[in-house]
Structure 1
Amino acid sequence: MFQLEGKVAMITGGSKGIGLGMAHCLGRMGAKLAISSRGLDDLEHAKKELSNEGYDVMATSVDVTNKESVNAWVDEVIGHFGEVHILVNNAGTNIRKPLIEVEEEDWDRVLDTNLKGVFLVGQAVAKQLINQGKGGRIINISSIFGGVGSSFQTSYASSKGGINQLTKVWAHELADKNINVNALAPGYIKTPMTAGWLDDKERYNQIINQTMVKRVGELQDLEGPLLLLASDASNYMTGQTIYVDGGWTAQ
């Protein structure tokens, strides 16, 4: 039920962190991988890492805030693999500042990447899935801050709340095309990029005390929920946001 043999998965922000971890997970279950990000060096490193594991992978530099760049990527993936079946809409950024210090440029950068980027990539892939006529999966990567408030998250929380709503709207529109749209909302996840930040003992303790399980998440904690949403195991699920947060949002 969870096998992805013969499936093609597109992953934005797939060159490092959560996106790269998700690429590894989908590759292990048999999916062919099309990863994207802006940074060429990170992409080449990620492609080599994934290829060394035996996965069929292509890597493309894409600006998710630019419609032409996004459409060109979809065309490239179809030209290489022939079809697409799964989208992991993961690319994102954050600028943490108090409300009164948030600049207009900060707001635009975060909302353009996190929300406009999700919209542009989701729209382009949805068009392709509809044209293929075989259904598919769109998985938008949200956050606990799409559902709860926290200081210094004005732009980020707004973008992730928007993703949760996009997920519901798209689920309504695409259900009759057999395209399931769901969101995955992680809490704090330890990755090579966040490890140094989480080494601050005071900050780490503040975070884990917000959870029921008293720890931050690991990349492998996202694998089960990801495979659920990417596979036939979630055939009767759409329009949902699944929180993977150690119980943070349930308190």
Structure 2
Amino acid sequence: MLELFSLKDKVAVITGASRGLGKPMAKGLAVAGAHVVLIARDADKLNQVRDEIIAAGGAATALPIDLTDEGALRAGIREIGTALGGIDICVNNAGIISWQPLLESDVDDFQRIMDTNVKSTFIVSQECAAFMRAGGRGGRIINTGSLLSSLGRAKLHAYCSSKSAIVGLTRSLAAELGRHNITANVIAPGYFITEINESVTSRPGYVEAISGVTPMERWGQPEELVGTLIYLSSAASSFVTGQVIHVDGGIQATFTFQLAA
């Protein structure tokens, strides 16, 4: 039964692999048996993750690329896919965020977030799907959405838009690629302790406030996404596609509040 979750002899591409949620996700793919192709801008951090995976007995290749550089991104994926004999798993995890009130929002900043979060997801999915179809083995596309893929949040107009767009894009991929045995799904994290949230977790009372409206009454740890990722990357999820799986401690599906004693 556990063989259903094995990624042995698979090639997995993951963006945003140098830190945050991406680092433990990349390591999890390697532990499950995949050769992991790590993509992010910071070469030093990326090489460190690669070295840690190799030291633990896994296989990894670092591919430092700015996701907004379409030419370099396409060329990099094509080169590594050819060198490794194909691509089986595509994990679009990279994402950026910016807090701006509506009347102070900058169009260039909005576009930067859409390019990084959505356009790169489309490009990487397109390039990886080409290898998956050519290889005839099918494949898995897993995109990182958010609790805010389905909920709105003040001052996060670009981020909410981008994460909603990722869900629509993923469902469109699922509709088209299913006949090729390629599944496409979204992991939608809730509130996790990562670098991207440092600007808000430093606010007095913020961590406690989020914990108070989360049924599990705490924030998630990045490692808690790995199980869902392995499931969606493996044969265990062979008939699961077009889905959004929330890993958020129940916050999206419930309403909780604290009553005074």
Alpha-carbon shift at residue 45 of structure 1 (Å): 1.8
Q: Which residue of 2 aligns with 1:7?
A: 10
Output one character per residue of 1:214-235: Cα deviation in whole Å (capped at 9) or x when no partner: 1000122111211110001111
Taking the TM superposition and a 5 Å limit, the aligned residue runs for 1:110-189 are: 110-189=113-192
**2-structure distance, mates of 1:129, 1:92:** 24
**2-structure distance, mates of 1:184, 1:152:** 23
Unaligned runs of 5+ in 2: 255-261
Output one character per residue of 1:143-187: Cα deviation in whole Å (capped at 9) or x when no partner: 011111111210000000000011111100000000000000001
TM-score of the aligned structures, taking structure 1 as reference length: 0.95
CA contact (8 A) 2:96 2:196 kept: no
Output one character per residue of 1:52-98: Cα deviation in whole Å (capped at 9) or x when no partner: 21211100112222331122121222233111100001111111111
Q: Say how many residue pairs are matched.
A: 251
Unaligned runs of 5+ in 1: none
1:23 equivalent to 2:26? Answer yes
Distance 1:163 1:196, change over 3 A: closer
State the identity as a percent: 37
Alpha-carbon shift at residue 195 of structure 1 (Å): 5.9
Alpha-carbon shift at residue 201 of structure 1 (Å): 4.1
Of 208, 211, 221, 1:208 maps to 211
TM-score of the aligned structures, taking structure 2 as reference length: 0.92
SS at match of 1:249: coil
CA contact (8 A) 1:64 1:121 kept: no
CA contact (8 A) 2:78 2:127 kept: no
Task: Report the aligned-residue RMSD.
Answer: 1.5
Output one character per residue of 1:93-130: Cα deviation in whole Å (capped at 9) or x when no partner: 11111111110111011011001111111111111211
Q: Greater Rg, structure 1 or structure 2?
A: 2
**2-structure distance, mates of 1:52, 1:248:** 37
**1-structure distance, mates of 2:199, 2:174:** 37
